[in-house]
Chain A
Amino acid sequence: MNNKLKVLRAMRNWSQAELADRLDVSRQAVNAIETGKYDPSLPLAFKLARLFEMPIEEIFDDGFEGFNND
């Protein structure tokens, strides 16, 4: 799953460690999410959305283009 976490973090001038502290997770967790190696759980995704004050789907993109209702 693609995400904008790195961009959003850079816009706030936060280090990975700083973001990790704000989310109460490890720096490795932030790095794994940013590099797409790990998709966060729903509670963590909500935490991110609240921290960056935007909807989850604006941070994460699963490539969904709508149901095919033929």
Chain B
Amino acid sequence: MTDLKDSTMTERRNAKRPMSPRRKRYLTATGIAALIGCIMGAWMQIDNPSGSSASLAPLSNSPLTPSFAVGASILWVIGLIVALSIYHRAVDDHEERAYLWAALAAWYTFALSAPVWWMLHRAGLAPPADAILLFAGALVLNCIVWLWLKYR
């Protein structure tokens, strides 16, 4: 009974608290980043010149239309700069530390794998290095380290 009363009081207290400016900025930054991802993914799928709707265009290497390539590149660069500028003004010490270690893990992933792949390709032992695959690998490591340090 007491536990229930305490938890209800805590919930009521939490519900009353207004959102801090830092948290608003944080949600704005993550919202912009998510919106950019959704727009680019949907646009790529709709604007797929191969016309195949069976596969996901963002996961394929099929050709893109020039209009999409230019538009999406502008959206990616400007949108990400805006989102990251807001994000870095919104994060606290704890998340900044998680972000920096995650970024370092991503960089090491790239620094270790890219030259190896490039040399193996030049020796005829591997296909040409795929920049997006390297980017995806670094991004996966980045996400794992960030999530682990922030939520463990």
Contact = CB atoms under 8 A, between A and B. Distances in A.
Interface of A: 15, 17-18, 21, 24-26, 28-29, 32-33, 37-38, 40-41, 43-44
Contacts, number: 40
B152 A37 contact: yes
A5 to B, nearest CB: 13
A38 B97 contact: yes
Contacts of B22: 24
A32 B94 contact: yes
Given A24-B22, A28-B150, A17 B17 contact: yes
B62 interface: no
B20 A44 contact: no
Interface residues of B, number: 15
B14 A25 contact: no
B5 interface: no
Given A17-B17, A37-B152, A24 B92 contact: yes
A63 to B, nearest CB: 22
Contacts of B92: 24-26, 29, 44
Contacts of A24: 20, 22, 92
7 nearest interchain CB pairs? Answer: A29-B94, A25-B92, A41-B93, A29-B92, A15-B10, A24-B22, A44-B93
Interface in B110-152: 150-152
B13 A29 contact: no
